[in-house]
């Protein structure tokens, strides 16, 4: 009867391992991460965008990316989507006669496509070798090709479809917007915001950008208001702090406020992103995913840490399995031990 | 513990038709890989920005390693649940697992865009314990090592290393325990890899209990593959089929399958995701196909009488394997869409070159299985089976 008792015991051991997989969120649960207080980002206002693609060209130049030709004559850079060599692109929503800008019906609208710099990025959680990292101060989601193994789990994980791999190269890297962090030390902020003629893309601290976005949403559509361009000064910024950035402090101008949807995209999606967006056209129609406030990274890491936190569960199961296996494994030519165990078959 | 049936080399010629075919397929694979390593992934694969993972990941690694669960499933039966009479199935199942996993491990390298950095995944300075893929990689690497240790008595027997074999067998129980734990860990994690992809994976396959689904299905596939392999090996080597073992094992397989199906449907009902299966879509079609493959074994080998028929056991094994393939392909390719709310028109279907590499990997497994079973004591000695 030894075998039946062993069978039941081992069922328990196996059962414990299986049950661990369905445990509800317990003490190991990891909440969705929030934006760092000094985090940097962009505010994109689709109603101000004129679709000039100056930001696309500036991005290519700042990141030393080659042109991508999709037209027959190969006269200029015509990427069809963001790619391993295109980190920023202005896309267009079109409907019917396309008469009116920022109208869902018979209208059109622009939408910027680039990294959202999530508060709780899926790519960072997915990356097995820490090639994708989130800067604890600026919150910039950066990429390190020297660490990367090219598994492309980040590409699969990102709900915005942002990290992209360079399939055309035997030593391909992942390409994505890093908010021009390599230019920050020279006092340059994101190239797309630096060149934007209308202030549709604005660089700054995400908290200040969020306040600016809410200010615009509060103004009655069609009324005139001041629109900053380039960089939005941080709230309570000292002249010393301002001096670290090149360019004119005040490039603002007067413009009419658009007929916004009352939603700042990126305020709560996946726990918030550091790039925020305003639009008069439905965000999903303009190509942005509808995301819950809880990040997938939080769900994934909660499961992962519930199962493997401190390796307690695996070690406990291993101890049980070892105990059972020690009783059941008989060296093949050890007759004495075989007889001792009673050898039923 | 039962009396062990001694294993013995099958013997016979190594140069025959199946070996030649395997050799040809392997040569074709190397030709494709040469191009891949000189010109990049884009030169030979149909991978694109919408589908960063193709069959090299989903078939060679995710499905390949599940197919290699025979060793784990049978070892668990024999050593953990103390069903010693299944012992003759251990070595052949372990051998197939050994090749399945070792090649899944090697196959990953072909797909890595920056393969020369592959060691980073096991290096403390780079490792990211939050990453599900990190866990999978560590467990699979450890499991491959453990399996070679578990299998090494076969080589020691053949080469007459009696002392070393005795020493190893004193501690083998620990490796067997480890060899049961590690696949449980990473087979569940292969499912967890989907979780971080969030709403990009269809709700029919995106669930927080996906680790349990992948674990249960891997165990079931393990038994299915043993049915499949035993029948193939018996027919290819013109040996008697081990029906007295396969019959009761098929019954156990149906039990685990029932647990899997209960969890699968229970989860869909609790999450209210079953509606997605009723829409007229490609995803729904493949969902029902997957379900059909998992339910079919009850009709094929549901009765004791039906289980006495080797052909039925073989078909049931194939059906389970197909169900396992579909569960994984559905989650990672068919139910995966990075459409971002609007249709980007991303499509993926493997290129001929990609298929050749996957075929070549399978050929490598078959070739290894043939060579080792013919020259080393893996399969039970003919005549000692009863």
- pLDDT for residue A24 is more than 70: no
Q: Give me the interface pTM, i.e. the ipTM.
A: 0.90
Please provide the size of chain A in residues.
Answer: 345
Distance CA A77, CA A65 (A): 11
* B156 membership: H or E segment, kind and range: helix B132-159
Read off the DSSP letter of residue B333.
I
Per-residue pLDDT reduced to its tens digit, A257-300: 999 999 999 999 999 999 999 999 999 999 899 999 999 999 99
Q: How far does B189 lie from chain A, in Å, by closest CA?
A: 8
Residues of chain A neighbouring B170 (CB-CB closer than 8 A)? 331
Residues of chain B neighbouring A168 (CB-CB closer than 8 A)? 40, 42
Q: Which of B87, B86, B79, B70 is nearest to B176 (CA)?
A: B79
Q: What pLDDT does residue B312 have?
A: 93
- pLDDT for residue A196 is more than 50: yes
- Angle B243-271/B282-301 helices, nearest 10 degrees? 140
Residue of A126, A158, A288, A340 to mutate when probing chain B, most B C-beta within 10 A? A126
Q: What pLDDT does residue A332 have?
A: 56
Per-residue pLDDT reduced to its tens digit, A46-86: 999 999 999 999 999 999 999 999 888 888 899 988 999 99
pLDDT-derived band at A323 (thresholds 50, 70, 90) equals confident
Instruction: Inform me whether the C-beta atom of residue B134 falls under 8 Å from chain A C-beta atoms.
Output: yes
- pLDDT for residue A312 is more than 50: yes
Per-residue pLDDT reduced to its tens digit, B36-64: 999 999 999 999 988 999 999 998 888 88
Q: What pLDDT does residue B218 have?
A: 93
Which three-class secondary structure state does DSSP give residue A128?
A: coil
Residues of chain A neighbouring B135 (CB-CB closer than 8 A)? 304, 308
pLDDT-derived band at A334 (thresholds 50, 70, 90) equals very low
Q: What is the mean pLDDT of residues B348-371?
A: 92
- pLDDT for residue A204 is more than 70: yes
Q: What pLDDT does residue B340 have?
A: 61
Distance CA B299, CA A274 (A): 55
Kindly give, in sequence order, each residue whose CB lies less than 8 Å from that of residue B361, ignoring residues fewer than 6 positions away: B29, B60, B64, B103, B107
Kindly give, in sequence order, each residue whose CB lies less than 8 Å from that of residue B255, ignoring residues fewer than 6 positions away: none
- For chain A, give the mean pLDDT: 87
Q: What pLDDT does residue A12 have?
A: 47
The closest CB to that of A21, out of B40, B49, B188, belongs to B188
pLDDT-derived band at B74 (thresholds 50, 70, 90) equals confident
* C-beta of residue B159 within 8 angstroms of C-beta of residue B375: no
Beta strand A40-45 with A275-278: parallel, antiparallel or unpaired?
A: parallel
Q: Cα dist. B32→B26, B45, B46, B57, B357 in Å?
A: 10, 10, 13, 16, 7
Q: What pLDDT does residue A58 have?
A: 97
Pick the more confident residue, A219 or B8: A219
Paired with B336 in beta bridges are: B201
Kindly give, in sequence order, each residue whose CB lies less than 8 Å from that of residue B132, ignoring residues fewer than 6 positions away: A126, A300, A304, B189, B192, B193, B195, B196
Pick the more confident residue, B275 or A11: B275
Task: Supply B144's token pair.
Answer: 């491959």
CB contact under 8 A, B41 and A165: yes
- Quote the distance between the C-alpha of residue A170 and its chain's center: 26
Q: How far does A4 lie from chain B, in Å, by closest CA?
A: 8
- pLDDT for residue B79 is more than 90: no
Instruction: Inform me whether the C-beta atom of residue B212 falls under 8 Å from chain A C-beta atoms.
Output: yes
Distance CA B314, CA A239 (A): 78
Read off the DSSP letter of residue A114.
S
Beta strand A174-175 with A164-165: parallel, antiparallel or unpaired?
A: antiparallel
Distance CA B86, CA A3 (A): 14
Pick the more confident residue, B177 or A196: A196
- For chain B, give the mean pLDDT: 89
Interface of A with B in 108-147 (CB under 8 A): 122, 125-131, 145-147
Q: What pLDDT does residue A100 have?
A: 94
Q: What pLDDT does residue A304 have?
A: 86
pLDDT-derived band at B383 (thresholds 50, 70, 90) equals low
Q: What is the mean pLDDT of residues A110-120?
A: 96
Specify whether the backbone of B383 is left (phi greater than 0), alpha (psi in -120 to 50) or beta: left
Q: What is the mean pLDDT of residues A199-206?
A: 96
Q: What pLDDT does residue A25 have?
A: 40
Q: What is the mean pLDDT of residues B324-337?
A: 93
Instruction: Inform me whether the C-beta atom of residue B48 falls under 8 Å from chain A C-beta atoms.
Output: yes
Q: What is the mean pLDDT of residues B348-367?
A: 93
Q: Which of B72, B159, B377, B226 is nearest to A332 (CA)?
A: B377
* C-beta of residue A231 within 8 angstroms of C-beta of residue A243: no
What is the residue whose two structure tokens read 């629109």? Answer: A227
pTM assigned to the model: 0.88
Q: Cα dist. A342→A345, B270, B386 in Å?
A: 9, 47, 20
Q: What pLDDT does residue B343 have?
A: 56
Kindly give, in sequence order, each residue whose CB lies less than 8 Å from that of residue B170, ignoring residues fewer than 6 positions away: A331
Per-residue pLDDT reduced to its tens digit, B153-190: 888 988 888 888 888 888 888 888 888 899 989 999 99
């Amino acid at each position: 009867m030894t075998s039946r008792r062993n069978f039941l015991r081992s069922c328990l051991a196996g059962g414990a391992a299986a049950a661990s997989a369905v445990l509800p969120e317990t003490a190991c649960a990891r909440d969705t991460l929030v934006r760092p207080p000094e985090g940097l980002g962009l505010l994109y206002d689709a109603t101000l965008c004129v679709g000039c693609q100056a930001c696309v060209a500036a991005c290519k130049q700042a990141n030393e990316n080659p042109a991508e030709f999709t037209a027959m004559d190969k006269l200029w850079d015509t990427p069809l989507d963001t790619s391993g060599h295109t980190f920023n692109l202005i896309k267009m929503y079109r409907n019917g006669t396309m008469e009116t800008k920022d109208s869902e019906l018979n209208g059109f609208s622009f939408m910027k496509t680039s990294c959202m710099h999530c508060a709780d990025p899926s790519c960072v959680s997915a990356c097995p070798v820490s090639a994708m990292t989130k800067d604890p101060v600026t919150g910039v989601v950066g990429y390190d090709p020297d660490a990367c193994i090219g598994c492309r789990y980040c590409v699969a994980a990102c709900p915005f479809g942002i990290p992209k791999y360079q399939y055309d190269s035997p030593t391909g890297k992942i390409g994505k917007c890093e908010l021009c962090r390599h230019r920050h030390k020279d006092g340059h902020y994101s190239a797309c915001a630096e060149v934007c003629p209308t202030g549709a893309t604005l660089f700054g601290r995400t908290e200040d950008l969020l306040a600016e976005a809410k200010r615009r949403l509060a103004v009655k559509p069609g009324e005139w208001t001041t629109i900053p361009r380039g960089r939005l000064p941080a709230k309570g910024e000292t002249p010393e702090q301002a001096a670290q950035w090149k360019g004119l402090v005040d490039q603002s101008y007067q413009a009419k406020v658009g007929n916004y949807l009352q939603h700042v995209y990126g305020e709560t999606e996946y726990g918030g992103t550091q790039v925020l967006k305003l639009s008069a056209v439905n965000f999903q129609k303009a190509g942005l995913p509808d995301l819950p406030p809880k990040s997938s990274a939080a769900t994934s890491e909660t499961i992962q840490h519930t199962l493997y936190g401190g390796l307690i569960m695996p070690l406990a199961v291993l101890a049980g399995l070892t105990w059972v296996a020690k009783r059941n494994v008989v060296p093949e030519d050890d007759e004495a031990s075989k007889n001792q165990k009673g050898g039923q078959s | 513990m039962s009396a062990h049936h001694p294993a013995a080399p099958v013997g016979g010629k190594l140069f025959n038709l199946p070996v030649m075919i395997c050799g040809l397929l392997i040569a074709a694979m190397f030709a494709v890989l040469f191009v891949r390593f000189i010109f990049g992934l884009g030169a030979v694969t149909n991978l694109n920005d919408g589908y960063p993972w193709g069959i090299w990941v989903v078939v060679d690694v995710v499905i390949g390693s599940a197919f290699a669960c025979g060793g784990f499933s049978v070892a668990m039966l024999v050593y953990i649940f103390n069903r010693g009479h299944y012992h003759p199935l251990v070595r052949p199942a372990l051998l197939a697992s050994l090749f399945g996993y070792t090649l899944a491990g090697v196959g990953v390298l072909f797909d890595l865009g920056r393969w020369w950095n592959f060691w980073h995944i096991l290096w403390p300075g780079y490792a990211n314990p939050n990453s599900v893929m990190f866990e999978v990689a560590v467990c699979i690497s450890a499991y491959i090592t453990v399996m070679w240790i578990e299998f090494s008595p076969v080589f020691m027997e053949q080469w007459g290393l009696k002392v070393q074999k005795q020493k190893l067998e004193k501690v083998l129980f620990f490796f067997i325990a480890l060899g049961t734990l590690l696949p449980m860990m990473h087979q569940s994690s292969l499912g967890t890899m989907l979780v971080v992809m969030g709403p990009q994976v269809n709700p029919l396959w995106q669930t927080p209990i996906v680790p349990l689904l992948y674990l249960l299905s891997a165990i079931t596939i393990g038994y299915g593959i043993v049915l499949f392999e035993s029948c193939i090996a018996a027919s290819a080597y013109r040996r008697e089929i081990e029906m007295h073992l396969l019959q009761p094992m098929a019954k156990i397989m149906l039990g685990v399958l029932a647990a899997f199906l209960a969890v699968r449907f229970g989860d869909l009902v609790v999450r209210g995701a079953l509606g997605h299966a009723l829409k007229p879509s490609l995803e729904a079609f493949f969902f029902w196909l997957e379900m059909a493959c998992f339910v079919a074994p009850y009709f094929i080998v549901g009765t004791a009488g039906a289980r006495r028929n080797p052909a039925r056991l073989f078909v049931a094994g194939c059906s389970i394997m197909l169900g396992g393939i579909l569960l994984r392909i559905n989650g990672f390719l068919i139910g995966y869409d990075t459409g971002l709310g609007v249709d980007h028109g991303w499509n993926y279907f493997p290129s001929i070159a990609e298929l050749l590499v996957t075929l070549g990997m399978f050929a490598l497994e078959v070739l290894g299985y043939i060579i080792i079973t013919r020259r080393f004591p893996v399969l039970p000695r003919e005549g000692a089976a009863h």
